[in-house]
Structure 1
């Protein structure tokens, strides 16, 4: 019966019977038609993703682990205590490689624009070199193929510039981990580094501020004595000396890390990610409209 239904004759009969009524139903029910289209696209994307996962698994079984050339790996083999710093660009990567503890800290520079996986199709995702390098470096697979025991690092640390551009890059990377490796996030492996935006000097005294509010607080409480106060603003991680980057952002004894977690309201989190990072600009516009009154005008990047 299945073979008969797959013949050209059967296809013609079925198409003649349902094509026009189905077209009319789609035209009369645009919301249901849109949901049906989204469902079909999602199923097609899932089939493509599964084929790609099988191909990756097959290749992994017949060859040794190939780490990306840009990765400056740590020397220890055990994942416990090992850290991977993800930075943007070769300049920041160079400073981070000099500042790291080679025994336990690895650095992976990513070049170019980070892909927004929430709005990209599977073809773009599979063909993106940065995403491929990141997945290879972590070694744990994605989605249904994720294996926590194969994760090569205990902490995965996103380290971007302390400005708006850096925050944008960090949000794109967090979106990647949320969508492709949610178990890594829930397992407490994903962190944000907190590099300084300002350096403050007065005589032999030096302090670092993470943002404008912190800078104002330090000036008000710590630099009240006589003498000229020198204020410097870092344009990016690449402009920091390696010793400064180590002291403020990478040294476990002195740094601050923010752990990324998923709140209990799973559906609300997914809706927020879809609205802010998805393909529908009207959802972002509505999100901004609903929350515009809570924005602090002094911190907006206008």
Structure 2
């Protein structure tokens, strides 16, 4: 049989994008978006390279010039991009980092201890999206120059991107450096409007904000902004010798009088993660060292301002360092409130995160090697190990502050503010008209037991259907309240394979699930109306938990099938065992079966480590503390989940009918026939 021209698919239909073509084909993947934010991100990538030189102690000044022709120039007095020839590629260092993706000095070598750049994509992506890109490097006693037109090296015969361009590879030495002239790099680029939306432009205020924030974070570097307007040049200088202490005062709302002095947390901590070595081979439990610097204070107002940074890069959505700070402030201040006489009345609930951080202004900055982010734009830090590092340092500082005789009175004033915020919140809880998205039961309030998330965006949100109220406590402490919601379920829901829709909706737990999802049931189910992007079934790792998961999967398959068809239903995989080694550098491993646990114990003992025995087994989610539950079951960066799929609808329907249907005889016959497959050693007696 011969395929038609329309259906034939062969090797010639495959596309290989070489060099920087991938960036131009999908610019949003590399710079986040193609609107004004993307244009601003181009500037961020270039200035961050100069900042990395300052952080490493090689640059003291960074000058940014916004030219009248729309071009941007960034000059620093650092070491200069390496100009020597790269042995493998045969290109100069400058040409290599500007024309090859994933090339640079920030992959764990000796060039930088910590840096904002990680993937060798930033500067080359800017080059790819620019009409003209000029670089001047002062290094090794010489001044080198190279230009690019849409990523191709060459020479322009005049100023601006419209000048005649002649392709030519290699650096040009234009002169010798003068006596006393400092080394450094100067970069100037004209972005190519063809790759951006109409009207997309660089926002001078965003540039100003970026330089100011970075000057706070790198107090040893002076940043200068020069803006060319009507033949004149306006110049602003940003330099803050007290670093993030100055930044807290700057960020505090106008008129917000301080209730406390500014607390400064500085320290180091270690964490372990899986990481690739210099050959790209993945290594387990690689020890990393992180430097933490946090400043915060409370004011008389009610606004909360918390800014997060990693290696001077602003993380707009926070991340794991913010999570450690939040947990530390809640835990330490809840304990301080409980210990202070006369603050809480009998049976009063302890304050929550919103109460603790009401009126707080904080800056969180961590420096670490090879941080992990959720995207190339680095909006959210995802390195899991940094959470405990930050949490430990902040808890220790807050405890010392609340107990030291010199600061005890100040701390008590803050604690009183926190308790009062908690009381106001509880008093207003019944009166607030919470903005709710449309629900399945129009006009009805959400179930009281729903612990909702704050985000209004569906794509990122997650709803955990949690087995039992006992697990809810740990899950509530562990979750990210911004995008993770919890709905506890009591017992086992009705088996809908045996019941009609009317009977199913009479079941309180099923009615709650339908109501919270807000998309209806059966033929009227509309997945576009779902209030959450993903639904995750979180049950104990035992027989009852498996039965609960099966009942829930049956419910979705029968009355909300598009959730499965669209790949939005998942089952969490909580571990069974926690293997801990003794000693100073104790190691923790989680396992999911008895055999896996025995294998891990044998592996650790063979390595000369002493395992704490007997190895504890989790009898349920409720036995895990918040950190354990977060790390193993809820953290998107470290958890294991199974996506429930429906590849063969007929086979799935037959399996559901066999296992959950009304006819008992076929199920009994199947159980008898399958008895030999059971591992009797794994059965709890």
Fold in common (TM above 0.5): yes
Task: Indicate conservation of the 8 Å contact 2:466/2:489, yes or no.
Answer: yes
Residue 193 in structure 1 maps to residue 572 in structure 2: yes
Determine which of 257, 270, 274 is the counterpart of 2:657: 274
- Inter-CA distance 223–102: structure 2 relative to 1 (3 Å threshold): farther
Structure 2's unaligned 5+ residue stretches are 1-437
Count of aligned pairs between the two proteins = 243
| Structure 2 CA distance for aligned equivalents of residues 61 and 115 of structure 1 | 19
The residue number in structure 1 matching 2:490 is: 111
SS in 1 for 2:616: strand
Task: Please identify, of 177-186 and 210-219, the stretch whose mean Cα deviation from structure 2 is larger.
Answer: 210-219
Q: How far did 1:69 drift?
A: 1.1
Residue 173 in structure 1 maps to residue 555 in structure 2: no
The residue number in structure 1 matching 2:623 is: 239
Determine which of 152, 160, 174 is the counterpart of 2:539: 160
Task: Please identify, of 70-79 and 198-207, the stretch whose mean Cα deviation from structure 2 is larger.
Answer: 198-207
Q: TM-score, normalised by structure 1?
A: 0.75
After TM superposition, list the pairs within 5 Å mapping 1:178-257 onto structure 2. Answer: 178-203=557-582, 204-224=586-606, 225-230=608-613, 231-257=615-641
- Inter-CA distance 126–232: structure 2 relative to 1 (3 Å threshold): same
| Structure 2 CA distance for aligned equivalents of residues 290 and 129 of structure 1 | 36
Which one has a larger percent strand, Structure 1 or Structure 2?
2
The residue number in structure 1 matching 2:670 is: 287
SS in 2 for 1:101: coil
Task: Indicate conservation of the 8 Å contact 1:164/1:301, yes or no.
Answer: no
Deviations 1:68-126 (A, max 9, x none): 11110110011111000001111111111111000010000011332111122444312
| Structure 2 CA distance for aligned equivalents of residues 270 and 198 of structure 1 | 34
Deviations 1:9-66 (A, max 9, x none): xxxxxxxxxxxxxxxxxxxxxxxxxxxxxxxxxxxxxxxxxxxxxxxxxx97994463
| Structure 2 CA distance for aligned equivalents of residues 301 and 282 of structure 1 | 27
Deviations 1:154-177 (A, max 9, x none): 110000111111111111111111
Q: How far did 1:228 drift?
A: 4.3
The residue number in structure 1 matching 2:520 is: 141
- Inter-CA distance 297–227: structure 2 relative to 1 (3 Å threshold): closer
| Structure 2 CA distance for aligned equivalents of residues 149 and 116 of structure 1 | 26
- Inter-CA distance 109–62: structure 2 relative to 1 (3 Å threshold): closer
| Structure 1 CA distance for aligned equivalents of residues 637 and 460 of structure 2 | 14
4+ aligned runs moved over 6 Å, structure 1: 59-62
| Structure 2 CA distance for aligned equivalents of residues 62 and 280 of structure 1 | 33
SS in 2 for 1:234: coil
Q: How far did 1:214 drift?
A: 1.9
SS in 2 for 1:72: coil
Residue 261 in structure 1 maps to residue 640 in structure 2: no
Structure 1's unaligned 5+ residue stretches are 1-58
Task: Please identify, of 146-155 and 206-215, the stretch whose mean Cα deviation from structure 2 is larger.
Answer: 206-215
SS in 2 for 1:232: coil
Please tell me whether Structure 1 or Structure 2 has the larger radius of gyration of its CA atoms: 2
The residue number in structure 1 matching 2:681 is: 298
Deviations 1:122-154 (A, max 9, x none): 443121000000001111111101111101111
